[in-house]
Amino acid sequence: MKTQTVSNGIVTLTKEGEETIKNSPLYNEGLRPTRTAEHTWTSYNFASLWIGMSICLPTYAMAAGLISLGMNWWQAILTIILGNCIVLIPILLNSHAGTKFGIPYPVFARLWFGSKGAHIPAVARGLIGAGWFGINCWFGGAAIDTLLMSMTGWANIPGHLWISFFGFWLINVWVAYRGPEAIKKMEAWAAPVLIIMSLALLVWALTKAGGWGPMLSAPSKFTSTADFLKVFFPALTGAIAFWATMALNIPDFCRYAKSQKAQVIGQSSSLPTTMGFFSFIGVAVASATVVIYGEALWDPAAVLAKFSPFAIFLGTIGIILATLTTNVAANIVAPARAVENLAPRRLSYEAGAIIAGVVSLLMQPWYILENFGNYIFLWLGTYGALLGPIDGIAIADYWLVRKRRIHLTELYKTNGIYTYKTGFNGRAIWAMLIGIAIPFISKYIPGLTIIWDNAWTVGLLISLVIYTWMMKNDGSVLSASDYEKITANNKQTIAS
């Protein structure tokens, strides 16, 4: 029986296919494959998604962190652009699966970890997303607090910083609760607004500082190439890890893409360019404040606080918008889906969004952001070491093991081919553990710390190779003829 059909490179369930799984405990409206009418996201939607996510306070802070660690402006910007070009590769590879088969990340993970084992990568991604959610709320809340103090007697209110933080946290949870379609609409109009506001800030800095020269003249603090590389490699891993989370759960968004071309063009044209552009603005504005105010102001809210009340008001709106567009898209969808996947028949995406918001508070973002060392090395570096191996397994499974052939209905069966023997694919678990362990052990061996400094990349490659080797001739892999038996081909189908 044909349970799925392919048209223009996109596979959807047939009516018969959907009937066979709609009563499964692993199926609900949020986790099912998307239908043809739901594939509406264009290149602009994906570009606006990444512009909205990249223009945020953590991007600004990352550039500032690299400068504080000794880099000059062009070393910091190139490190960030290179890291984003590298992470774009797994993003596009995993996007293909989401676009072609219309499945969200937790369901995609069932393919390689098993129907029960999928909770391991889904919860891992979800916890990190919740951590990022808290970080962005803290950034945004602290910025709003700074701006309110500059305009009113807000500083006299006891606990004013915490009031700002929790108030902003509530706004983020409320917007996230409304779901992915609301996020798409918000990103579409917010992206051009954020670009205009960012350019306005850059023009102000350029004008006040008297040109590029005074702004970007600070030299690198490194006296040798060896000294530079000691910071460069962990900083590069941090830049990669910044979006390593999205490299995993990008199917949550690409499942709505109109075509592979739409998602590839939209994402490739916007991610590295926007990250580089906004990082440059952060460096340029902070450098300009040395000329203008005699000190480097790395906090954009501290810069805005020196403006007129009307400019502060506009800046506050910009910071709220920049943080919201990042937070609700990049950091809440994945944990909400992970929670939903724990019990599809009892938990919804909306419940998942609220639970993820509460977990973000338990992860204490104020500690992570206590200093740039915590932010870049402890937070970004450590979770990069965890997610790299999972990225490697996802890529290996879809591209090298299964060769882009998936039996959709089997993903929703408790005794299907992707259940493996016990609901867990032990080979994926071993490949992940080895990919995490080797970089971690290397951290404590003299002469091998460079492996830890590049933990995301090394872990990805190790797990990719091990998983591909271990999954040879696995019974869950469909042959070309097996795939043809279950897939009806529409006459308009093109290569996928």
Instruction: For 86-141, give the secondary structure using H, E and C.
Output: HHHHHHHHHHHHHHHHCCCHHHHHHHHHCCCCCHHHHHHHHHHHHHHHHHHHHHHH
Is 30 within a domain? yes
Beta bridge partners of 488: 5
Please identify which residue in the block is written with the tokens 């509530």.
170
Is 495 within a domain? no
The model carries a pTM of 0.86
Q: What is the CATH number of the domain that holds 56?
A: 1.10.4160.10
Find, among 127, 100, 108, 84, the residue nearest to 5 by Cα: 100
CA distance 246 to 326: 11
Is 496 within a domain? no
Strands of the sheet with 4-7, listed across from one edge: 10-13, 4-7, 487-489
pLDDT tens-place string over residues 335-357: 888 888 888 888 888 888 899 88
Please identify which residue in the block is written with the tokens 């109009």.
189
Structural domain harbouring 351: 4-489
Annotate 270-323 with DSSP letters as a single string. HHHHHHHHHHHHHHHHHHHHHHHHSS----HHHHHTTS-HHHHHHHHHHHHHHH
Is 238 within a domain? yes
According to DSSP, residue 418 is labeled T
Is 375 within a domain? yes
Domain count, the chain: 1
Is 49 within a domain? yes
pLDDT tens-place string over residues 172-196: 888 888 766 677 777 777 878 888 8
**Can you give the C-alpha Rg of the chain in angstroms?**
23
Is 494 within a domain? no
Is 173 within a domain? yes
Per residue of the chain (496 residues), give pLDDT as tens: 899 999 999 999 999 999 999 899 999 888 999 999 999 999 999 999 899 888 877 787 777 778 777 888 888 899 999 999 999 999 999 999 999 999 999 999 999 999 999 999 988 888 888 888 888 888 788 888 888 888 778 888 999 999 999 999 998 888 888 766 677 777 777 878 888 888 888 888 888 877 777 667 767 788 888 889 888 988 888 888 888 888 988 999 999 999 999 999 999 999 999 999 988 888 888 778 777 887 777 777 778 788 888 888 888 888 888 888 878 877 888 888 888 888 888 888 888 889 988 988 887 777 766 655 555 556 666 777 888 999 999 999 999 999 999 999 999 999 999 999 899 999 999 999 999 999 999 989 988 988 988 888 999 999 999 999 999 989 999 999 999 999 998 754 333 4
Check: CB of residue 442 under 8 Å from CB of residue 451. Answer: yes
